[in-house]
């Protein structure tokens, strides 16, 4: 039985499993707080003297031991925890904790990561994080399935280094090399070429970049969507904004109050449509406000993204903004180009409160154009042969996006670092626990 169910069992005998939170062993009474993921309950035992085996068991308890307690639920208005306590009849230690815990309330962030399991277990907001993640993901998936998406699992092992020139992880593979996929990009497009009209995938992506920021990881969970027969990139943005709104509404409904309590953040369901702003306009806006690092730049840096988001929020009240029409020079070769302005791509980033959470685009689906765009970027077609082949036999127009799950959670819960938004963080300096 869960602690939160105890009020319904006043006067009855129950069994509760959980962890020893605090021990107060007084002269006449022994008080033990026991916590499960739903709440905390106080055990109250009156010492019975030398023959009292339960007294001895309680005396030997250590904080964070896993215990199973059988006892009677009694009302006691003096107890803060729901006005009830448990008078124990038996306490069984199922997993004994060593008496000295390696972390406490004063432990720094890196050492807390070393003992992540204890840190998560002892902090209700960390527990809540994973409940929110589960709900958010369920909301994304429910939307995707209602829209006719097929859930795919594409390989993470690739025969040649994927898409961009960015660093990839290389591994030994039966006497040759394999590479870890930096995204399901190529394979989800292959699924489109395979006649799977709408692709949804959730899976790990790997980035061998030595980035040491609060928003980068070498392995993270990507949510990927790819849609066939799109008329243009607007279809992709429409899909994403509706998908996010659906999932955030579910989070607000199920966890809004807890999120407010534990993170001090209000979950607001965004209005549709999200604001859209071409990169050129975004830069003009920022320059008009005095942001002009190193003269004219094609891209936005993190500071530019934050400022832009603040400006958009000021003007529209919206926390999200799609930045569109990135110059071709700073986008991958497979992004489709504007027919009117061939120097611009039909692509976008989605910023939420100034953090980039998505990159998306209409894809170039014509084989000859794709070859030309790859050549312009100085890419050799040979390592990408299998990818390029998918466009030779009737590939429909399509577009899609990738969403970083942990980045969404960072913004949603107001976390300062992506390290706090995942269960076990992986970075250039961290491969453990």
Site for a second copy in 23-62 (CB under 8 A): 36-37, 62
Residue of 26, 106, 108, 174 that binds a second copy (CB under 8 A): 174
Asked if 171 is part of the footprint of a second copy (rule: CB under 8 A), the reply reads: yes
* Number of chain residues interacting with a second copy (CB under 8 A): 95
Q: Which of residues 201-260 bind a second copy (CB under 8 A)?
A: 202-204, 206, 208, 210, 218-219, 221, 228-229
Report how far Cα 388 is from the mean position of its chain's Cα atoms. 31
Asked if 185 is part of the footprint of a second copy (rule: CB under 8 A), the reply reads: no
Asked if 138 is part of the footprint of a second copy (rule: CB under 8 A), the reply reads: yes
- By beta-carbon proximity to a second copy, the closer residue of 124 and 270 is 124
Report the nearest approach of a second copy to the CB of residue 341 (Å): 22
Q: How far is CA 146 from CA 151, 200, 415, in A?
A: 12, 12, 31
Task: Report the C-alpha dihedral over residues 47, 52, 58, 61, rounded to 10 degrees.
Answer: 140
- By beta-carbon proximity to a second copy, the closer residue of 218 and 345 is 218
Asked if 137 is part of the footprint of a second copy (rule: CB under 8 A), the reply reads: yes
- By beta-carbon proximity to a second copy, the closer residue of 189 and 324 is 189
Residue of 40, 154, 283, 345 that binds a second copy (CB under 8 A): 154
Report the nearest approach of a second copy to the CB of residue 212 (Å): 11
Residue of 7, 155, 165, 264 that binds a second copy (CB under 8 A): 155
Residue of 170, 253, 261, 266 that binds a second copy (CB under 8 A): 170
Q: Which of residues 393-422 bind a second copy (CB under 8 A)?
A: 393-397, 405, 422
b/e sequence 386-412, b meaning 16+ C-beta within 10 Å: ebbebbeeebebbbbbbbbbbbbbbbb
392, 356 contact by CB (below 8 A): no
Asked if 371 is part of the footprint of a second copy (rule: CB under 8 A), the reply reads: no
Q: Which of residues 84-123 bind a second copy (CB under 8 A)?
A: 94-98, 101-102, 115-118, 120-122
Give the separation between CA 421 and CA 407, rounded to whole angstroms: 8
Helical packing angle, 405-413 and 124-146, nearest 10°:
120
Conformation bin of residue 148: beta by default, left when phi > 0, alpha when psi is -120 to 50: left
Q: How far is CA 331 from CA 36, 109, 177, 214, 325, in A?
A: 48, 35, 27, 24, 10
Q: Which of residues 332-351 bind a second copy (CB under 8 A)?
A: none
What pairing do the DSSP bridges indicate for beta strands 398-404 and 176-180? unpaired
19 three-state secondary structure: strand
Residue of 3, 19, 113, 362 that binds a second copy (CB under 8 A): 19
Report how far Cα 307 is from the mean position of its chain's Cα atoms. 24
Asked if 134 is part of the footprint of a second copy (rule: CB under 8 A), the reply reads: yes
Asked if 194 is part of the footprint of a second copy (rule: CB under 8 A), the reply reads: yes
Annotated binding residues for ATP: 207-209, 356, 404-407
221, 409 contact by CB (below 8 A): no
Asked if 382 is part of the footprint of a second copy (rule: CB under 8 A), the reply reads: no
């Amino acid at each position: 039985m869960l602690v939160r169910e105890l009020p319904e069992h006043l006067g009855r005998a129950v069994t509760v499993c959980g962890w020893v939170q605090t021990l107060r062993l007084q002269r006449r009474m022994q008080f033990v707080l026991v916590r499960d993921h739903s709440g905390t309950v106080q055990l109250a035992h009156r010492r019975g003297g030398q023959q009292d085996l339960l007294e001895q068991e309680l005396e030997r308890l250590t904080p964070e031991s896993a215990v199973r307690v059988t006892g009677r639920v009694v009302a006691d208005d003096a107890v803060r925890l729901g006005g009830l306590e448990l008078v124990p009849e038996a306490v069984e230690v199922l997993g004994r904790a060593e008496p000295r815990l390696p972390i406490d309330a004063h432990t720094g962030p890196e050492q807390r990561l070393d003992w992540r399991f204890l840190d998560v277990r002892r902090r209700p907001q960390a527990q809540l994080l994973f409940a929110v993640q589960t709900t958010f993901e369920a909301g994304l998936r429910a939307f995707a399935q209602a829209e006719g998406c097929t859930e795919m699992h594409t390989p993470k092992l690739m025969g040649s280094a994927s898409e961009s020139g960015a660093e990839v992880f290389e591994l030994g593979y039966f006497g040759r090399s394999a590479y870890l996929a930096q995204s399901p990009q190529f394979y989800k497009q292959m699924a489109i070429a395979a006649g799977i009209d709408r692709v949804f995938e959730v899976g790990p992506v790997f980035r061998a970049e030595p980035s040491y920021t609060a928003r980068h990881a070498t392995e993270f969970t990507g949510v990927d969507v790819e849609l066939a027969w799109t008329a243009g990139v607007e279809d992709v943005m429409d899909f994403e904004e509706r998908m996010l709104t659906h999932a955030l509404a579910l989070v607000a409904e199920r966890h809004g109050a807890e999120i407010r309590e534990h993170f001090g953040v209000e979950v607001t369901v965004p209005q549709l449509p999200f604001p859209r702003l071409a990169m050129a306009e975004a830069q003009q806006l920022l320059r008009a406000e005095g942001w002009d690092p190193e003269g004219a730049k094609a891209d936005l840096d993190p500071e530019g993204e934050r400022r832009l988001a603040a400006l958009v929020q000021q003007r529209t009240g919206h926390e999200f903004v799609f930045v569109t029409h990135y110059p071709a020079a700073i986008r991958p070769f497979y992004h489709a180009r504007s027919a009117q302005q061939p120097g611009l791509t039909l692509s976008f980033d989605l910023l939420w409160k100034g953090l980039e959470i998505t990159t998306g685009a209409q894809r170039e689906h014509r084989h000859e154009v794709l070859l030309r765009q790859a050549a312009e970027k100085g890419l050799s077609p040979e390592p990408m042969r299998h990818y390029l082949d998918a466009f030779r036999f009737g590939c429909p127009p399509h577009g899609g996006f990738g969403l970083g799950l942990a980045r969404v959670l960072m913004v949603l819960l107001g976390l300062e670092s992506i390290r706090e938004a995942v269960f076990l963080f992986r970075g250039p300096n961290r491969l453990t626990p």
